[in-house]
Amino acid sequence: MTVVPLNNEFTPGKIIALHLNYPSRIAQRGRIPAHPSYFVKPSTSLSSTGKVLERPAGTELLAFEGEIALIIGTEVRRVTPEDGWAAVSGITAANDFGVYDLRYADKGSNLRSKGGDGFTPMGPSVIDARQIDPTALRVRTWVNGELVQDDTTTDLAFPFSVLVSDLSQLMTLEVGDVILTGTPAGSSVVVPGDTVEVEVDAPTASGSPTTGRLVTPIIEGTAPLPAYSPGPKVDDLQRAEAWGSAEAAGITPVASTLTPELKARINSVGTATLSSQLRKRGFNNVSIDGLKSTRPETRLVGLARTLRYIPHREDLFEKFGGGYNAQKRAFDALGPDDVLVMEARGERGTGTVGDILALRAQIKGAAGIVTDGGVRDLAAVSALDIPTYHAGGHPAVLGRRHVPWDFDLTIGCGGAAVQPGDVIVGDADGVLVIPPYLIEEVVADSIVQEQEETYIAEMVAGGEGVDGLYPMNASWKAKFVVWLAARS
């Protein structure tokens, strides 16, 4: 098996990088690409093993991405997928470094965030592509000696031959061009003082050829960006994506806006009254319909977290339904005052939650669960303290009708649009979705409305007729004011 050192004078004409390819990374990102998508890195970003990489001064989120690099050995244009792999002469290890602090500046081009000098180390050796199976390669990454990425090319979304063919449809791939083929899950943030190593090998091939370890020490840059350049900018979304998860980034959930005082005021009025006040403001489609509660005597008040299921498809469920899928991640992300609202398209023919995950939500302190689909282990879920609103019980597991897809995004549940952070209120009458900016005024007016209705009920019980009383005319309103003052 031929393995040769990567020439230190190697300068590709083009470095083309793929966004998403490995199922593990796709699941982590929560979106499936229908087609390959790319960005271009300048040849000046190329570096070699042992060369230090500067984290730009003032930045926080320098992330590594261990990858397999394809080196084009034959000029091709409009090559077919069947012939695409023949255009590759060699493979080597690469690291697609990026600074998330600068992603906003160039949106999808990644020029500033991934195009800096030294941001594409490659090497140290090249494996002859003609002697290996492109579906039997392995890429591994270590940070300070700890293995953090370990995946194979067995089940890529876009096989290497397809990438070559796809790119060649619109451009000529020339000898020496490089295609970076995506990174698996495990990409995260490194800081000055860390050392990142990447190795690509073919463990089942004769001689188990390897590129050797591509070593990149990280140091702190000292030259700040000038005022005329976009400066570093980070937020919790960028931190979560750079680190791989909010938990890994150490992001503390934002404190609930539902103070004990506000929750008590919400709980002092019924959903029927809240619904009436919402209708007065033009909100006619904010009830989650067709559900019943496991704890109808228990009030539900919390802030929406959301989870979406898509219709079952065998290949998609195989990739995204097992392991630490979106459903499990959504339940693990719950905290106090959270209500997990699930979009199941009204499909009752399988469970969307069972006793273990419902218990997990209760242990995490969540306020409730709402699904327009079925509940598995309904008796056990009903025995928990946490209220669960559902469309009915069903014994089947998730994979019969659903694939857990993504969470914390706008969904539809029981005919209502739900966004993360919406206020969810439920009782025996049903479940409402209240935009958070309306909650204070809606509750205040609901309290007044219920006071008025208590007064009207007393008057009707005392023998008064409803004409002019329900609703109250000016005369009755004046009497109500006196009545209310006497109760204060």
**Residue ranges of the binding site:** 354-357, 376-377
199 forms beta bridges with 140
CA distances from 344 to 31, 86, 412 (A): 18, 45, 9
**Which residue blocks in 108-243 are alpha helix, DSSP H?**
111-114, 160-168, 236-243
In this structure, what DSSP letter does residue 290 have?
S
Q: Following CA atoms 470, 474, 475, 478 in sequence, which dihedral angle do they give, to the nearest 10 degrees?
A: 100
Distance CA 192, CA 202 (A): 31
One-letter amino acid of 249: A
Distance CA 149, CA 142 (A): 7
Residues forming the annotated binding site for Mg(2+)?
A: 377
**Do 120 and 94 meet the contact criterion of CB atoms below 8 Å apart?**
yes
One-letter amino acid of 223: A
Distance CA 354, CA 371 (A): 12
**Do 273 and 442 meet the contact criterion of CB atoms below 8 Å apart?**
no
- HSE value, Cβ hemisphere, 13 Å, CA-based, for 303: 19
Distance CA 232, CA 223 (A): 13
**Do 335 and 364 meet the contact criterion of CB atoms below 8 Å apart?**
yes
Q: Which of 374, 379, 414 is nearest to 394 (CA)?
A: 374
Residues 362-385 as b or e (16 or more Cβ within 10 Å = b): bebebbbbbbbbbbbbbeebbebe
Structure tokens at 353: 């939650």
CA 83 to chain CA mean position, Å: 36
CA distances from 146 to 82, 143, 182, 198 (A): 38, 5, 21, 11
CA 258 to chain CA mean position, Å: 24
> Which class for 75: exposed (0-12), middle (13-18), buried (19 or more C-beta within 10 A)?
middle
Residues forming the annotated binding site for substrate?
A: 354-357, 376
**Do 441 and 447 meet the contact criterion of CB atoms below 8 Å apart?**
no
First to last CA, the chain: 90
Secondary element (H or E) of residue 458: helix 439-461
343 forms beta bridges with 308
Q: Which of 90, 87, 92 is nearest to 75 (CA)?
A: 87
